[in-house]
Structure 1
């Protein structure tokens, strides 16, 4: 397991349970206690958790992991989702892209494929695609979120209202038949909603950990979603409910 993935797993465990000890983390991640203690010290210096005697508790970052700690989590599944999602994009299309590690993988596939116009509010996607001469890049401005590298808020929403995209790839923190698409931040949810409203087709890309889950801020209901692309570890009952709500589902 890569160090970055191990750090993401530690943060997920601490976020889910509020607190965890070194012995349990060592057993869950199959590494030594000394390695776990070094990991906890590193994450504590970043204020992502707070060290305690024998373990750690949740820090000031809250339940949303910063994007750099999510990149390696389930990366093979995200890359498979990205390849399948990219096949939905016609040549020469105008593509909307919110932030998120899975959407970033799609941007890489499309940029390598050839001519495409990308409209995004994610500064990491912009930085990766701007060197590609075949990519026409439109960056939506706004307030920068440290956790997701996204530009959000009224400026972003106004810009999106003045543009049209053929297809938008929406990264979410949760999708379920009951609660629709959700994320952790209210401003991000509103900007994501503006992406969907300006597009002919909205495709949600989400690995199995997001399926059947709901987080704090609602982006949209499933009636605003045309397609979901996920991986085969997604819970079957949640996928069946999403399909029943009228969303086309691709499982890779």
Structure 2
């Protein structure tokens, strides 16, 4: 198993968020010498986490989905703010279906102040966090567990979500096409997401800006299918005019903000 120092993890996060970082800029950010940064960067490049380019480093080319450990730290600030914003819209006593993915995991973290939730999920990470609360009920799908991600996928999962009617369905997506189509990496992922969408009263799509234009190969639905989109940035111009009556909420970017009571919001809203 690969071991990284805390600084190396922060370097990966920084480069991933920015798309490129100069060695000098990283040296200044972490208050260490350029030689130290170069040693860290060289080690990360050898492990395939970064790629050296003229004057600095950038993320490596993406082929297929990223490993869970890497996705967990990508755009973490944006995901956390999205999660906090979603939590504002979930009242005590709600029933919630949550899908696979790192952003839904952060949503369950942000919901820790809510009472008496009923959680239905095919995400073992979500289930483990939710089960820490004694006043919540947690129901999990059966089936085969996908290594690393700790997801459960397949026809059993779709049948599982079909057995319940919940207040809120919360799910992510691998990518979004220029015309607003939703993409995932497998038919099983699409099937799980669609089963949640079909069996909830309100559907929340949670995604950061990196999903726009991201390449994945299995189509499954459109942005206009969901009740509300939670994102950290406005939708790109070709997309924003084509989401019909779907609500769009841009998560507040203020760092360190406390989560207010359900129903309160500092977000920017708009019909598109």
So what's the TM-score if we normalise by structure 2?
Answer: 0.72
Number of residue-to-residue matches in the alignment: 233
Q: 1:191 to 1:102 in 2, by over 3 A?
A: same
Q: 1:70 to 1:251 in 2, by over 3 A?
A: same
CA separation in 1, counterparts of 2:94 and 2:114? 12
Report if the CA contact (8 A) 1:176-1:242 is conserved.
no
Deviation at 1:236, TM superposition (A): 4.0
Report if the CA contact (8 A) 1:183-1:217 is conserved.
yes
Report the equivalent of 1:33: 38
Q: 1:228 to 1:167 in 2, by over 3 A?
A: same
Deviation at 1:83, TM superposition (A): 1.3
Residues 143-201 of structure 1 show CA distances to partners (whole Å, capped at 9, x for unaligned) of 32235321000111111111111111111112346242221222111111111111111
Q: 1:124 to 1:147 in 2, by over 3 A?
A: same
Report the equivalent of 1:127: 128
Residues 38-95 of structure 1 show CA distances to partners (whole Å, capped at 9, x for unaligned) of 1234x36xxx899xxxx9x979x94211222122222222111111111222321110
Larger fraction in helix: 1
Report the equivalent of 1:153: 154
Deviation at 1:2, TM superposition (A): 4.7
Q: 1:138 to 1:242 in 2, by over 3 A?
A: farther
Report the equivalent of 2:92: 91
Query: Which structure 2 segments of 5+ residues have no match?
Result: 1-5, 28-36, 52-56, 252-272
Query: Which 10-residue stretch deviates more, 178-187 or 151-160?
Result: 178-187
Deviation at 1:103, TM superposition (A): 1.0
Q: How does 1:1-252 map to 2 (within 5 A)?
A: 2-7=7-12, 27=23, 30=26, 32-41=37-46, 43=47, 62-146=63-147, 148-176=149-177, 178-213=179-214, 215-232=216-233, 234-238=234-238, 240-243=240-243, 245-252=244-251
Query: Which structure 1 segments of 5+ residues have no match?
Result: 17-23
CA separation in 1, counterparts of 2:168 and 2:116? 15
So what's the TM-score if we normalise by structure 1?
Answer: 0.78
CA separation in 2, counterparts of 1:147 and 1:238? 35
Give the secondary-structure state (helix, strand or coil) at the position aligned to 2:73: coil
Deviation at 1:100, TM superposition (A): 1.5
Report if the CA contact (8 A) 1:95-1:167 is conserved.
yes
Deviation at 1:205, TM superposition (A): 0.5
Report if the CA contact (8 A) 1:5-1:70 is conserved.
no
Deviation at 1:235, TM superposition (A): 4.5
Q: 1:65 to 1:165 in 2, by over 3 A?
A: same
Deviation at 1:37, TM superposition (A): 2.4
Query: Which 10-residue stretch deviates more, 206-215 or 135-144?
Result: 206-215
